[in-house]
A and B are shown apart, each in its own frame.
Chain A
Amino acid sequence: MKRTAVFPSLIRDIRKYWAIFRTQLVNSLAYPLDLLSRSFSMVLFMWIFAQLWRTTYSASGQESIAGLSLNDTLWYLMMAETIILSKPRISTQVAEAVKDGSIAYNLNKPYNFILYHFSVSFGDSLLRLVPNALIGSLVVWRLAGPPPATRGWPLVFVAVLAALAIDFCINAMIGMLAFITEEIRAFEWIYAKFILILGGVLIPLDFFPEWLKTAALSLPFAYTTYGPARLFIDPDWDRFVTLISRQGAWLLVCGGILALIYRKGTSQLAINGG
Chain B
Amino acid sequence: MRREVIFLLSLWKANLLAAMEYRAAFISQVLGMMLNNAVYFVFWMIFFDRFKEVRGWGLTDMLLLFGVVAAGFGIGVALFGNVLGLAEVIARGGLDYYLSLPRPVLLHTLASRSVASGFGDFVYGVLSFVAAGQFSADTVTRFILGTLLAATVFISFLILVNSLAFWIGNANMIAQQATNAIITFSLYPITLFDGTAKLLLLTLIPAAFVGAIPAELVRGFSWQSFGQLFAAAIFFFSLAVFVFHRGLRRYESGSAIQVQL
Contacts and interface: CB of A to CB of B under 8 A. Distances in A.
Interface string A167-211: 000000000000001110111011011101100001100011100
B43 interface: yes
Contacts of B32: 185-187, 189-190
A37 B188 CA distance: 23
Given A56-B54, A59-B55, A37 B173 contact: yes
B39 A48 contact: no
Nearest to B173: A37
Per CB-CB distance, the 9 closest pairs between chain A and chain B, nearest first, are: A186-B32, A193-B39, A189-B36, A183-B25, A51-B192, A202-B43, A186-B28, A37-B173, A197-B42
Given A196-B43, A197-B40, A51 B193 contact: yes
Interface in A138-189: 181-183, 185-187, 189
B184 interface: yes
B185 to A, nearest CB: 7
A198 to B, nearest CB: 9
B255 to A, nearest CB: 28
Interface in B117-133: 117
Interface in A195-229: 196-197, 202-203, 207-209, 212
A41 B180 contact: yes
B46 A208 contact: yes
A270 interface: no
Given A37-B177, A207-B46, A52 B188 contact: yes
Among A38, A45, A183, A208: residue with most chain B CB under 10 A:
A183
Interface string B135-178: 00000000000000000000000000000000000000110010
Given A55-B55, A182-B25, A190-B32, 11 more contacts: A48-B188, A51-B192, A52-B192, A59-B53, A181-B28, A183-B24, A185-B29, A186-B31, A196-B39, A209-B49, A209-B50
30 contacts: A40-B177, A48-B192, A51-B188, A51-B197, A52-B54, A52-B192, A55-B191, A56-B54, A59-B51, A59-B54, A60-B51, A183-B25, A185-B29, A185-B32, A186-B28, A186-B33, A186-B35, A189-B32, A189-B35, A190-B39, A192-B36, A193-B39, A196-B40, A197-B40, A202-B43, A203-B43, A203-B46, A203-B47, A208-B46, A212-B46
B181 interface: yes
Contacts of B173: 34, 37-38
Nearest to B38: A193
Contact of A55 (B25, B49, B54, B185): B54
Interface string A29-55: 000001001101100110010011001
A60 B191 CA distance: 16
A177 to B, nearest CB: 11
A208 B117 CA distance: 30
Contacts of A203: 43, 46-47
A197 B39 contact: yes
A41 B183 CA distance: 12
Contacts of A37: 173-174, 177
